[in-house]
Each structure stands twice: as C-alpha cells, then as structure tokens.
C-alpha cells in the first residue's frame, strides 16, 4: 500500500541527508521528486504545491554532525503532509445526525455521487452498517434508475445489512425516488436517508444536470463523493468536475488497500479541499475505516 509515495520520499531523503546540497543540486533533487510524485498519481498541481512547501525548509536544512538526519527530514515531510491532508471524524457526522433528529425531528440526508465503477453502492451499504452499529436506523433510496440491475444490487445490499430500501421502476425520476424515501423515513422515524445515484461520467453534462436537480430537490445535509483509489489520475478530474457541478462535502476512497501508488488522497484534499471521511480496505461490510491523517503519513514515511 502506497509504495509509490513511499519510494518518492525515501529517494529524496537519501539525497538530502548525505551532504548539504547546493542550490542547483537541491533544485534537481526536488524536480526528480516532483516527477516521482506525479508517477504515483499525485496531480502536477499538487506535486508542485508539495515541492513549494518543502523547498524553503530543505534550503535551510543542515545535515546533523551526529546522525539523526533522517528523523529531522521526516519531521519536515510530516508537517507538509499534515498541512495537505484533510480528515473529517465520522464521530462528528454521528453528532450532526443526532443533532438534526433531536432539534428538528427529521432524518439526516446524505447524497452519494461518483463515477461509474467506483464502488458507490457497496460503500453506501457499508455506511448503513456502520450507522446501524452506532444505533442509528437508515433507509436507502435506490435512485439509480438508469443502470441495469442497479436497483436489485442496492436492495440486495440493503437486505444484507438489514435496512430498508425504497425503489421505483427503471426510468423513474431519480429525484422523485429520493423524495419518496425522505417522506418514508420521516413516517418511520428513521434517522438517516442514504441516496444512491447513477454513476456519472464527468463528460456527460446531462447526467450532471440531473444530479444538480436531485440535490436541489432533496436538499441533502451532506454530499459524499466516492472515488476508486486505483483510478489514480483519472479520479482527479472526476473529483474536480463533481465538486464544480454538484458540490462535495466529504470524500470516501475505496480500494485503498490495493493502491500501490497512493497519490489520490493528496490530490483530492489539495484540489477540492474536501476532507476524507472513510477509506475502503476490503469487500466486507466492516472493511470501511475512518480516515486519519496518520494512517497515510506513517505509511509513507515508514
């Protein structure tokens, strides 16, 4: 996991801890480092931002006479990575859900968006399972009325987790499905509405327009973007388009356990400034973990 980022930082460490570098040598080392970051799915803009944060600190760095150079340089990296990575504690999400229920007596509405094949529906089921373990009842809105077998998949996963699912026929208005589910949740006093949606390609304007309509009608409390870590640089453009067209509050990264490069987390946090709330690390319903900065940072710098 994250071997590409780890190699990039290790390579730079080896160069700057052997001897105090001249200005030219440091510039060359940072250029190589930037290219390694880009090769590990960090966007060019994010890689340049990282280099600009590191450069002044390394320019002042002196190799200690009695060792400990690697520890000193890792402190520099740790500060930079913590500056870029954004986390949102799931406990805060629980508090927000409970607060809305207590003060307004209404369900908390979460709209899930993301590209095709990103693991969105499975992630929703995992979040429903997580909510259930925390004592909160949720209901799934099967608002993907476009993709073949999407409704069956959502209903099967809901049944597996033990939550209700509300659906209509294929071709139905997704916004109407969402509203039916919200009304149903109020009647059943369920705490959370989880709205599944069709996977949107960033190139299909009509589907993004439909997504904006759904957000306008359902008025979600949070919009969560689900991205596949393995799609790397393609996910950067997807994240940017979804944020520009729909608005993204939080991000879930799936398949992070299989990601050998690891740059997407840095790119998403830097480019759309939306925190990561969960990471997917397996296929089981329990394989959804709260995202913490140190999870990424310590693996990169190990």
- Please, what are the averages of pLDDT over each run of 10 residues along the chain (302 residues)? 87 83 87 94 93 89 66 89 95 96 93 87 96 96 88 94 94 93 95 90 68 92 92 80 91 81 87 94 89 89 86
What tokens appear for 132 in the block? 């259930």
How far is residue 108 from each of residues 63, 113, 141, 148, measured CA to CA in Å?
53, 16, 13, 28
Q: Are the C-beta atoms of 213 and 175 separated by less than 8 Å?
A: yes
Q: Are the C-beta atoms of 252 and 264 separated by less than 8 Å?
A: no
Distance between CA atoms of residues 50 and 42, nearest Å: 10
Neighbour order of strands in the sheet with 192-196: 164-166, 138-142, 192-196, 108-113, 222-228, 250-254, 276-280, 288-290
pLDDT at 66: 53
Distance between CA atoms of residues 177 and 166, nearest Å: 7
pLDDT at 10: 92
Radius of gyration of the chain (CA): 22
Superfamily of segment(s) 3-84? SRP54, nucleotide-binding domain (1.20.120.140)
How far is residue 198 from each of residues 145, 173, 274, measured CA to CA in Å?
7, 12, 21
Q: Are the C-beta atoms of 114 and 120 separated by less than 8 Å?
A: yes
Helix (H, G, I), strand (E, B) or coil at 138: strand
pLDDT at 175: 93
pLDDT at 256: 80
Q: Are the C-beta atoms of 179 and 193 separated by less than 8 Å?
A: no
pLDDT at 146: 84
pLDDT at 266: 93
Provide DSSP, 155-196: HHHHHHHT-EEE---TTS-HHHHHHHHHHHHHHHT-SEEEEE
Which run of H or E residues covers position 141? strand 138-142
Domain positions in the chain are 3-84, 90-292
Q: What is the pLDDT of residues 133-172, one digit of tens each?
A: 999 999 999 999 888 888 999 999 999 999 999 999 998 9
Distance between CA atoms of residues 293 and 276, nearest Å: 9
Reported pTM: 0.91
| CATH code of the domain occupying 90-292 | 3.40.50.300
């Amino acid at each position: 996991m994250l071997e590409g980022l780890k190699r990039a930082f290790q390579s730079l460490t080896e160069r700057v801890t052997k001897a105090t570098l001249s200005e030219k040598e440091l510039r060359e080392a940072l250029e190589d480092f930037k290219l390694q970051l880009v090769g590990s799915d960090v966007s060019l803009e994010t890689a340049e931002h990282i280099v600009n944060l590191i450069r002044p600190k390394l320019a002042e760095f002196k190799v200690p006479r009695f060792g400990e150079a690697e520890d000193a340089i890792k402190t520099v990296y740790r500060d930079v990575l913590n500056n870029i990575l954004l986390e949102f504690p799931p406990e805060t999400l629980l508090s927000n859900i409970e607060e809305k229920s207590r003060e307004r007596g209404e369900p908390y509405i979460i709209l899930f968006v993301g590209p095709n094949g990103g693991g969105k529906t499975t992630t929703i089921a995992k979040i429903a399972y997580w909510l259930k373990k925390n004592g909160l009842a949720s209901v799934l809105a099967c608002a993907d009325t476009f993709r073949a077998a999407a409704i069956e998949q959502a209903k099967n996963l809901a049944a597996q987790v033990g939550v209700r699912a509300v659906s209509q026929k294929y071709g139905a208005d997704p916004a109407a499905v969402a509203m039916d589910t919200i009304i149903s949740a109020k009647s059943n006093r369920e705490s959370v509405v989880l709205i599944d949606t069709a996977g949107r390609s960033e190139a299909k304007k009509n589907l993004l327009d439909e997504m904006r309509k759904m957000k306008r009608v359902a008025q979600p409390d949070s919009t969560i973007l689900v991205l596949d870590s393995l799609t790397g640089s393609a996910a950067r453009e997807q994240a940017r388009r979804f944020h520009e067209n729909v608005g993204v509050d939080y991000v879930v990264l799936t398949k992070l356990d299989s990601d050998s490069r690891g740059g997407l987390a840095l790119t998403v946090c830097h480019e759309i400034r939306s925190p990561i709330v969960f990471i997917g690390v397996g296929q089981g319903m329990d394989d959804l973990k709260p995202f913490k900065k140190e999870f990424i940072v310590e693996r990169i710098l190990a």
